[in-house]
């Protein structure tokens, strides 16, 4: 496939870029200054600045990268770049925020991944506690016995672990008890129905109760409407992320969301 060779070249040529989508605190109440978001952190989301096709979203090439194994070097670049970006924000005088990075299962299970994370932290100087590694629920379910010890080793380095797309894996939930994780990212498909649908609301309430009992933070994904945000805040979801607050944006725009240097 042409795109595969293209993607290999793009990695080397520096055509991949990261955009950053903020998550905001839903629990601390006090709104930031008018027009400002109370940013808890950013999720790094990869894009491909293709020479002829324009800016491609991850949906257009991440699945291909997963099929071809290129997701491993791609993911390495994303991890390193996101750590550097987080540190560059701090060096520019911004308050420290959490940086979340999506990790494909092929990356996680590649020998040396834990060391790679440690090196990315050491090389950038990022505080490990500010790095969140997002693993999809389906990846977790695909191999709990392999994944659990890896997550434990990652967590021992000080990073946090989030279960992405939570609720879409139709899991028995028992895996959560055995997994060293910190955050549940409630999938948009649930968030979409909290306001207008009693059963949808019940589902999210159940997830929140579960998260509380396991001492996990929650992030509601894909929040698009104020009414959803209000419902989620009242229900006790910890953080929100979605177009209501911001789309994923380039680093300069992400920096501008944080309190400027004094």
Binding site for Na ion (CB under 5 A): 164-165, 221
Q: Is 137 in the site for Mn ion (CB under 5 A)?
A: no
Q: Cβ 175 to Na ion, closest distance in Å?
A: 17
In degrees, rounded to 5, the angle at the alpha carbon of residue 137 between the alpha carbons of residues 79 and 109 is 50
Residue 250 interacts with ligand G (CB under 6 A): yes or no? no
Q: In angstroms, what is the minimal distance from the CB of 93 to ligand G?
A: 27
CB 22 → ligand G: shortest distance, Å? Answer: 10
The answer for residues whose C-beta is within 8 angstroms of residue 204's C-beta and 6 or more apart is 186, 190, 191, 194, 220, 232, 235, 237
Which one of residues 38, 81, 134, 137 is an interface residue with Mn ion (CB under 5 A)? 134
Q: In whole angstroms, give the CA distance from residue 186 to residue 168.
A: 9
- Pick from 58, 96, 158, 180: which binds ligand G (CB under 6 A)? 58
User: Got the DSSP string for 62-117?
Assistant: HHHHHHHTTHHHHHHHHHHHHHHHHHHHHHTTPPP-EEEEE--HHHHTSTTHHHHH
Question: Which one of Na ion, ligand G, Mn ion, none interacts with residue 76, CB within 5 to 8 A by kind?
Answer: none
Angle at 225 between CA 255 and CA 187, to 5 degrees: 80
Select the binding partner of residue 240 from Na ion, ligand G, Mn ion, none (C-beta < 5 to 8 A, by kind). none
Residue ranges in contact with ligand G by CB under 6 A: 21, 45-46, 57-59, 62, 71, 75, 78, 102, 104, 164-165, 221-224, 242-243, 248
Residue ranges in contact with Mn ion by CB under 5 A: 102, 134, 164
């Amino acid at each position: 496939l042409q795109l595969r060779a293209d993607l290999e070249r793009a990695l080397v040529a520096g055509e991949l870029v990261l955009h950053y989508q903020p998550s905001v605190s839903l629990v601390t109440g006090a709104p930031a200054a008018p027009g400002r978001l109370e940013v808890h952190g950013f999720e790094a989301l990869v894009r491909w600045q293709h020479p002829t096709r324009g800016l491609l979203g991850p949906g257009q090439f991440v699945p291909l990268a997963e099929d071809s194994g290129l997701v491993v070097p791609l993911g390495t670049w994303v991890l390193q770049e996101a750590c550097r970006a987080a540190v560059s924000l701090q060096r520019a005088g911004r308050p420290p925020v959490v940086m979340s990075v999506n990790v494909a299962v092929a990356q996680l299970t590649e020998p040396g991944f834990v060391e790679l994370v440690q090196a990315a932290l050491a090389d950038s100087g990022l505080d490990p506690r500010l790095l969140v590694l997002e693993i999809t629920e389906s990846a977790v379910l695909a191999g709990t016995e392999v994944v659990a010890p890896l997550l434990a080793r990652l967590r021992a380095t000080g990073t946090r672990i989030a279960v992405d797309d939570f609720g879409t894996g139709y899991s028995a939930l028992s895996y959560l008890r055995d997994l060293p994780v910190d955050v549940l990212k409630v999938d948009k498909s649930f968030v979409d129905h909290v306001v207008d649908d009693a059963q949808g609301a019940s589902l999210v309430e159940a997830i929140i109760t579960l998260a509380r009992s396991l001492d996990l933070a929650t992030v509601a994904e894909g929040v698009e409407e104020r009414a959803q945000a209000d419902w989620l805040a009242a229900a006790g979801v910890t953080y929100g992320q979605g177009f209501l607050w911001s789309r994923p944006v380039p680093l300069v725009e992400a920096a501008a969301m944080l309190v400027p240097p004094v």
